[in-house]
Structure formats: C-alpha cells, structure tokens
DNA sequence: TTGTACGCGTTATCAT
DNA sequence: ATGATAACGCGTACAA
C-alpha cells in the first residue's frame, strides 16, 4: 500500500500474491487461463498495490505501442474538433490511445514533430488538414508506420486516405449561387493549399457558367470572426455589386453575417452567404447559415478503422476513400 | 536504405558504421564524447538508414517517458485552446511531448482514461478544467506521477496547482455591474463545479451589495451560441427588468449579443453583457465584448515548468499558484 | 494450470 | 575514446 520510490512491477504483485510474474501477466491479459483461486489472489494483490502495467515495457516486448498519433496544424480549432473526437472515441474502443501533435503551420517544426512522433513507434499516424513536406514524406515512409491522410483528396497519398475534394466544393457552391440567380459572386477565404483548391473549383465553374470575374479576399490564418467582418467590408468596397459570398469557414461566415447586420445589409435579401464546416453555431447564426457539411465523425471512424485494420494485419479493401460533402440549406443563402 | 520488416535499431546502425551499439547511442545523446571521425561515420549510417531511436526502449531503460499527459473534459473547445497550445510549446522546448486525453464529462470514462494514461508512465499529468473522482485521486496518488491541476483553485490539490478563483470572478463581475449602476442583474451559465463557484461569488456579493435576487439560466454543456441566445430569452422573459447579464463564457455572451441585436435591444444602452475567457472573437463581437481574461498562456508555461522541474528533480518553490484574472473593458458593459 | 528462460531496444556502468 | 555487460518490465515459447 505505502509507496516507496518506483512504481510497482509484475514482480511486486507476484511476490505479494505468492505466484510467478508470468501468472500475474496472465491474470491481466488472459484471465480465463488461470484457476479461479489464483486469479482472485492475483487480482487482490493488484488492487492492494494499485498496480498499473508499464505500457513502455509491454509495447517494447510486443512491438505495439497501442498508440495512434494525430498531427494537426493547430490544436483543434473548431474545424477538426468533430473529427478528432470521433477518432479518439473510435480508437479507444479498440484499445488504442490517441496522441495529438501540433505542427503549427511551420514547416521547420514539422520535421522535429514527426521525429518525436516516430520515436514513439505509434501503430498509426493520422495527418489532419496538412501535407507532409518532401522530407516528411520520406521519414514517414521509411518508418513503415501506417499513415492516413484526411481532410483532403490527393491523387498520390503517402499511404491511406480519407478525404474529399475541395475543388468540387468550390464548384458546387458557385453552381448553387448561379442557380439562385446570382451573377456577381465573391469569396472570403484563408490562403492555404486546400483553400486554393476550393477557389480554383469555384473560379473555373464560374467562368464556365459565364459569370463575371470572382472577387476574392484572402485572410490570414487562423480564420476569425474579425477577419470575416473585414473580408466582407473589403469585398463590398471593391465590388459593391456582389450579391453572394462564399466564406471558407463558418467562422468567417459568422463574421460576415455580423458585419452585414451591422451595416443593415439584409441576408439573404441583399446578400447571400455560404459557409463551410457546419459548425455547431451555424444553425443559430443570424440568420441560420447555409453551409457545406463534411462528416467529421465518419472521417474519424474510417481513419481509426483503417489504422486498426493495419495494426491487426487485416487486409484493407479501400485504402483511399472519398467521403464527400453536402450543402446544408438554411436561411443565409 | 531499402526497408525489410522491422524498424532499424542501434545494432543495425552500429553494424553499418562498424562500431558498437554504445557508440551509436553516444553519437545521438552525447556527441561531444566521441572523436569527430567516428561521430561522422555514425551520423552517416543514421542518415542512410533513416534511423529513429525507439522511445519505448529508452523510456523503459531510463524510467522517463519524456511525455506529459493533459486531461480535458472535451477535446479543446476554444476555452482551453490558448493554454494547451502554450503547454505544448513549453513542453516541446524542454524536449517533452504532450499527449491529450479526453474524459468527456463522463465520470466512468475517467477511470479508464486515467489508467491508460498512467500505463504510459508520463513524467507528469496536467488536469485541465476537471476534477478527479475520489478513485481517480487515489490512482493518481498511487502512481506517484507529478500532477498539476489547472483552471481552478482548490484548497486541497492532489499535488500541484496553477489556477484562479472562480468565486472571486463572480464577485468582481457583480461588483462591476453594481458600480455601473445596475440593480437587477442576471447570469447565463453552464452548470459545472467551477460555474457554480462563480455563481456563488456573484450571488453572495450581490446580496452584500443589497441587490435584488439574481436571475439565473443554466444551460447544458457545451456552451454554444444557441444556448446563449436561449438563455437571454429565458432571462428576459422571467425578469424583464434585468439590465445586466454575466455569461459564463464568451460563446454564450456572443449568443446573447446576437439575440439582443435580433430583438433590437441596445447593448450596452438597455442591456450590459459580460463574458468570460476573452476569446479571440471577443473584440470583434457586436459590440466588442467586455469580458474576464484569464492568461492561458501563462498557465500553460507555469504548468510545464512545474512538471519539468519535478522530472529533473529541481525543488519547487511554489507548488500552488493563483494566476488571477482581470476584467477587460470593451463596449458591451 | 503454473513456472523458467529469454529477448524486445536502449543506456548506465565499468572496463579497456 | 570505445566496447562489453547488464538491466529496465513485460510477454512468448517452451518446460514441468
């Protein structure tokens, strides 16, 4: 009971229970292989000592850390939250722990983070909303650790992928605007790889539909209500005839809505606004926000399944999955 | 270069470099103890194999995982984000990795998470915005792992603590309302331990100041813009003469502001609103939100320092720190 | 059903 | 400056 210095080990428990270390190990992992009496004796000893096995030792022995790493550009802004929680839940169900790493937009940091992660020998790595640098790709591949890329759709994934096409989102939204009769449309957007892909889809389809040039406002990461407000102001200053804006996140969209209300611009009467992400607050925005929904829960589940399958040696039918998206129509557009 | 099955080990590198395993280890950890030539030979071999040391093995050998766990009720809503990022940064600087665990408000889940965490033998555990159950406390103490509790101020911490007084926040806000001439005040709040502590402080001081009974709306976790809107509606329905509302998070406050604007209630003219957290969006709210700021960055740094000090065996001057808070005055109150 | 011996990959210690 | 040996805590393989 009383605790000297080091944590207890199987040996300590074994001594207390009057059995061998191996029996303790079995009591914990394959209790059905022990006689009821010894099992009970061992369990009592475990309880008495509050013994918790050392995962580093067992991980070393089994070459399985029962650990999965998730790499994010920033620690869970609202965007990835749903997916991360789902990933965590799914992994826990399978007996794996999730470790979150932050690359912080910075490419230099990526290398050291990647190394720190690989050192732990996780059973899988989930890359969320970020792309590995060429060196990053190399060390990942050399490590032989299963990798799932998400939140994007690449034709040449490092390993496995659960994503969706940002280009296609851009196309869909501008088509929606067009079908609703809008001519002069604009974008308020962050300026990362995926955002550029959405913008490309948006512009290309706009051109194909014969719309006039798209007005674009780029804002710095991270997306905030403030940048949404400023974005709308900038767009309307440069192109007062804009009647529809696609914001590259719900947060930006909320900022645009707040700014519109502030200026007495009726939404959707005078201005249509579409967001991206279907965050929790979207339905409570003034007015309820029309937005593009991505099923983060499903992405998390799929990513977990892929990694667990790999860890257990189960063959994988579809290593690359397009999860799609859909437009949630509310009042803002 | 070509990778067979298992990851490479010191042995592989040693063979390739024509030295012993020990020399490889030294090349990585204490390069100054090697002759320049051997050092170079080893480094070349490391690069050729893309060798990354196994942290489970070294952790086992050294009894130091170079890992710190942070336990949260939910995966980083905006509230704790600043603190977590700061904690992560500070720990990385010292060569530690952060692992995040989610307790999910659920007490039953806490036990299994705690066990999973203790199994990894982290060098420290940071408990953020949550209190361990009695059994939790017990297993934590038995594990002998340094623990830092944050985001609260307890008189009897498990081990170390970096927090602030929620009771005192409640007192400060109602005093502020009172000094501004408000008589009929209300609270829109979540219903957890810390929230109750703020409410207690708010009520007690209100009574001392001779204010009429405080109207309170409790909303479910997590706090959303929607609950903020509903909260304000409820409060104004039950007590139409309320002129000041304290919202227990900036998100709730933003909801209240949106609802007020929706109903044409002038803020701060007809209604004063104070939030909590000073989230990024607070300054861009309509109107800019008066709120209580907690220095999450500082909390993260301090928590990291405490744990690193413990891990390195440095004596700790102040194991319990009250970080305080302050009211950021903007336009909403 | 239970125990013994060994090895997972690394590093402290002692020796050279 | 470099190497040999042992040990960290656990679980597989085999023996009893």
B159 and B193 in contact (C-beta within 8 Å)?
no
Q: CA of B82: which chain A residue's CA is closest?
A: A75
Q: Residue B154: its pLDDT value, please?
A: 79
Q: Which region, left, alpha or beta, applies to residue A139 given φ > 0 means left and ψ of -120 to 50 means alpha?
A: alpha
Q: Residue A83: its pLDDT value, please?
A: 94
Query: Cβ of A280 under 8 Å from any chain B Cβ?
Result: yes
Strand partners, A147: A125
Q: Where in chain A is the domain with CATH 1.10.260.40?
A: 10-53
Q: Which of the two residues, A221 and A70, has the higher pLDDT score?
A: A70
B221 and B190 in contact (C-beta within 8 Å)?
yes
Percentage of chain B beyond pLDDT 70 is 98
For strand D, the positions having any atom within 7 A of a protein Cβ are 1-5, 7-13
Q: Residue A188: its pLDDT value, please?
A: 98
Q: Do B121 and A55 touch (CB under 8 A)?
A: yes
Q: Residue A2: its pLDDT value, please?
A: 43
Nearest DNA or RNA nucleotide to B30 (CA to C1'): C11
Q: Residue B138: its pLDDT value, please?
A: 87
pLDDT in tens, B100-123: 898 876 777 888 899 999 999 999
Parallel, antiparallel or unpaired: strands A67-72 and A124-128 = parallel
Q: Hey, what are A127's tokens?
A: 């890359």
pLDDT, chain A, mean: 93
Per-residue pLDDT band for A92 (boundaries 50, 70, 90) equals: very high
The CATH number of B166-293, from 3.40.50.2000, 3.20.20.70, 3.30.300.30, 3.40.50.2300, is 3.40.50.2300
Is the pLDDT at B156 greater than 90, yes or no? no
Q: What's the mean pLDDT in B235-264?
A: 97
Query: For the ranges A30-34, A70-74, B154-158, B327-331, which has the lowest average pLDDT?
Result: B154-158
Kindly report the number of other CB atoms within 10 A of residue B39's CB atom.
Answer: 17
Chain A 157-216, CB below 8 Å of chain B: which residues? none
Stated pTM of the model? 0.93
Q: What's the mean pLDDT in A139-160?
A: 91
Per-residue pLDDT band for B131 (boundaries 50, 70, 90) equals: confident
Residue A59 backbone phi and psi in degrees, to 5: -60, -40
Is the pLDDT at A108 greater than 90, yes or no? no
Q: Which residues touch strand D (CB under 7 A)?
A: A 6-7, 9-11, 21-22, 25, 28-29, 53-54, 57-58, 60-62; B 19-23, 26, 33-35, 37-39, 57, 60-61, 63
The CATH number of B10-53, from 2.50.20.10, 1.10.260.40, 3.30.390.30, 3.30.450.20, is 1.10.260.40
Q: Residue B4: its pLDDT value, please?
A: 57
Q: Residue A226: its pLDDT value, please?
A: 96
Q: Do A54 and B119 touch (CB under 8 A)?
A: yes
Query: Cβ of A111 under 8 Å from any chain B Cβ?
Result: no
E-only strand ranges, chain A: 67-72, 97-102, 124-128, 147-150, 160-163, 185-189, 215-218, 244-247, 272-276, 290-293, 320-322, 326-328
Q: Do A3 and B85 touch (CB under 8 A)?
A: no
pLDDT, chain B, mean: 94
Q: CA of B280: which chain A residue's CA is closest?
A: A224
B220 to B20, B108, B191, B248, B258: CA distances (angstroms): 61, 19, 7, 12, 19
d(CA A138, CA A124): 16
Query: For the ranges A98-112, B182-196, B262-276, B316-330, which has the lowest average pLDDT?
Result: A98-112
d(CA A327, CA A325): 7
Residue B284 C-beta-side C-alpha neighbours within 13 Å: 20
Q: Do A115 and B143 touch (CB under 8 A)?
A: no
Question: Residue A225, preceding bond cis, omega within 30 degrees?
Answer: no
Query: Cβ of B55 under 8 Å from any chain A Cβ?
Result: yes
Q: CA of A64: which chain B residue's CA is closest?
A: B56
B247 and B279 in contact (C-beta within 8 Å)?
no
B54 and A121 in contact (C-beta within 8 Å)?
yes
- What is the residue-wise DSSP string for B133-150? -HHHHHHHHHHT--EEEE
Query: For the ranges A74-88, A144-158, A257-271, A276-290, which has the lowest average pLDDT?
Result: A74-88
Which of B165, B191, B148 shows the shortest CA–CA distance to B320?
B148
Nearest DNA or RNA nucleotide to B13 (CA to C1'): C9
Query: Cβ of A266 under 8 Å from any chain B Cβ?
Result: no
Q: CA of B145: which chain A residue's CA is closest?
A: A7
Of A5, A224, A286, Cβ closest to residue B284:
A224
Kindly report the number of other CB atoms within 10 A of residue B113's CB atom.
Answer: 20
Per-residue pLDDT band for B2 (boundaries 50, 70, 90) equals: very low
Per-residue pLDDT band for A135 (boundaries 50, 70, 90) equals: confident
Question: Using a CB-CB distance cutoff of 8 angstroms, which residues of chain B are in contact with residue A65?
Answer: 56
Query: Cβ of B143 under 8 Å from any chain A Cβ?
Result: yes
Question: Using a CB-CB distance cutoff of 8 angstroms, which residues of chain B are in contact with residue A120?
Answer: 55-56, 97
Provide, in whole angstroms, the distance separating residue A105's CA from nucleotide D1's C1': 42
Is the pLDDT at A257 greater than 70, yes or no? yes
Q: Name every residue whose Cβ is closer than 8 Å to that of residue A4 and which is 6 or more positions away in sequence.
A: none
Q: Residue A105: its pLDDT value, please?
A: 67
Is the pLDDT at A3 greater than 60, yes or no? no
Q: What's the mean pLDDT in A119-132?
A: 91
Q: Where in chain A is the domain with CATH 3.40.50.2300?
A: 65-164+296-324, 166-293
Is the pLDDT at B1 greater than 60, yes or no? no
Determine the CATH number of domain B65-164+296-324. 3.40.50.2300
Q: Hey, what are B103's tokens?
A: 């307790």
Q: Residue B129: its pLDDT value, please?
A: 82
Q: CA of A49: which chain B residue's CA is closest?
A: B142
Q: Residue A131: its pLDDT value, please?
A: 78
Q: Residue B73: its pLDDT value, please?
A: 84
Going edge to edge, which strands form the sheet with A326-328?
A215-218, A185-189, A244-247, A272-276, A290-293, A326-328
Chain B 285-314, CB below 8 Å of chain A: which residues? 285-286
d(CA A245, CA B156): 53
Question: Residue A268, preceding bond cis, omega within 30 degrees?
Answer: yes
d(CA B202, CA B228): 19
- Shortest Cα distance from A9 to chain B (angstroms)? 11
For strand C, the positions having any atom within 7 A of a protein Cβ are 1-5, 7-13
Is the pLDDT at B216 greater than 90, yes or no? yes
- Shortest Cα distance from B312 to chain A (angstroms)? 15
Instruction: Return the nearest residue to D3, CA–C1'.
Output: B20
Q: Residue A73: its pLDDT value, please?
A: 84
A103 and A73 in contact (C-beta within 8 Å)?
yes
Q: What's the mean pLDDT in B71-97?
A: 89
Q: Residue A194: its pLDDT value, please?
A: 92
Q: Alpha helix (H) ranges present in chain B? A: 10-17, 21-29, 36-49, 55-62, 78-93, 107-119, 134-143, 166-179, 193-208, 225-238, 250-262, 296-312
Q: What's the mean pLDDT in A280-293?
A: 96
Three state DSSP letters for A120-161: CCCCEEEEECCCCCHHHHHHHHHHCCCEEEECCCCCCCCCEE
């Amino acid at each position: 009971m009383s605790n000297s210095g080091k944590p207890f080990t199987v040996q300590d428990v074994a001594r207390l229970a009057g059995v061998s270390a191996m029996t303790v190990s079995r009591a914990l992992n394959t209790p059905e292989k022990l006689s009821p009496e010894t099992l009970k004796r061992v369990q009592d000893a475990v309880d008495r000592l509050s013994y918790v096995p050392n995962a580093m030792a067992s991980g070393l022995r089994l070459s399985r850390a029962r650990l999965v790493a998730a790499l994010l550009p920033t620690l869970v802004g609202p965007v990835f939250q749903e997916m991360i929680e789902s990933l965590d839940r799914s992994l826990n169900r399978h007996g794996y722990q999730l470790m979150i790493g932050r690359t912080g937009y910075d490419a230099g940091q990526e290398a050291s983070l990647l190394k720190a992660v690989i050192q732990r020998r996780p059973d899988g790595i989930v890359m969320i909303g970020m792309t590995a640098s060429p060196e990053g790709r190399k060390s990942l591949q050399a490590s032989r650790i299963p990798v799932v890329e998400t939140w994007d759709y690449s034709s040449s994934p490092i390993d496995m992928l659960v994503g969706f096409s940002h280009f296609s989102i851009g196309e869909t939204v501008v088509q929606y605007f067009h079908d609703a009769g809008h001519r002069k449309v604009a974008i308020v957007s962050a300026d990362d790889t995926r955002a550029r892909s959405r913008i490309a889809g948006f512009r290309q389809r706009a051109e194909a539909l014969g719309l006039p040039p798209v007005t674009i406002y780029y804002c710095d990461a991270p997306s905030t209500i403030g940048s949404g407000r400023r974005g709308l102001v900038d767009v309307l200053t440069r192109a007062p005839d804009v009647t529809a804006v696609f914001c590259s996140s719900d947060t930006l969209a909320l900022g645009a809505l707040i700014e519109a209300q502030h200026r007495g611009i009726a939404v959707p009467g005078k201005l249509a606004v579409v967001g991206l992400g279907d965050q929790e607050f979207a339905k409570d925005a003034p007015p309820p926000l029309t937005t593009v929904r991505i099923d983060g829960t499903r992405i998390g589940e799929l990513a977990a399944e892929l990694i667990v399958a790999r860890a257990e040696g189960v063959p994988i039918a579809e290593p690359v999955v397009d999860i799609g998206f859909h437009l949630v129509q509310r009042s803002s557009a």
